[in-house]
Amino acid sequence: MRTRRNRHTVLDLVPGLVLALFLTLLTCAARAADAPPAPGLPPPPVPAVARTWPVGSHPLVLRGWEPPATLYARGHRGVDLATPAGAPVRAVAAGRVSFAGRVAGRGVVSVELTGTDLRTTYEPVTASVKKGDEVEAGGVVGTVELTGSHCGTTPCVHWGLLRGEVYLDPLGLLPPWLLNRGPSRLLPVLGV
């Protein structure tokens, strides 16, 4: 009795190759959507939607935003704001809490800002909110943890801002009237 051998031609393999090629292209497109902007291109603008600083009325910025050259390169993906341990941490704008818990031993609160594709993060913070809570601008989301500060001897809060997986400068959320230093001055009205 003869055994029949399965003979495959190149044409039999085409549907599988087409499917593999399609899945590869789909994966590459999904990764490209989350990739940081190409070098030399400015990131999309950050809308000035904040209504308050996360801590204090105008805290000292101990370390500013230093954008990384690539997604995993060195840099500082936020700003460090000087503040005493135990101080309240406030949502800078209205939003929904997307995370409130511990990451690498530190308390973290993350808020998706209403009407934007932006998410702010605050750490180290002992959360007073939970995932899914709605917060208003200026609403307390927690308190600065007493644990060792990543800012050395000065307690601080690290304030971050993300659009997807791309880090942005959180100070861009602040409108000019919150960034200005010094008191308002009334000027004389001439010709009255």
Note the pLDDT tens digit of each residue in 55-99.
998 899 998 888 877 777 887 889 999 999 999 999 999 999 999
* pLDDT at residue 26 in the model: 47
- Reference 99, options 108, 90, 91; nearest CA is 108
- Reference 173, options 188, 185, 184, 162; nearest CA is 162
Cα-Cα-Cα-Cα dihedral sign, residues 101, 128, 96, 60? negative
How far from the centroid of its chain's Cα atoms is residue 81's Cα? 16
Three-state secondary structure call for residue 118: strand
Residues β-bridged to residue 108: 101
Give tens-digit pLDDT for 93-133: 999 999 999 998 899 999 999 999 999 999 999 999 999 99
Residues β-bridged to residue 3: none
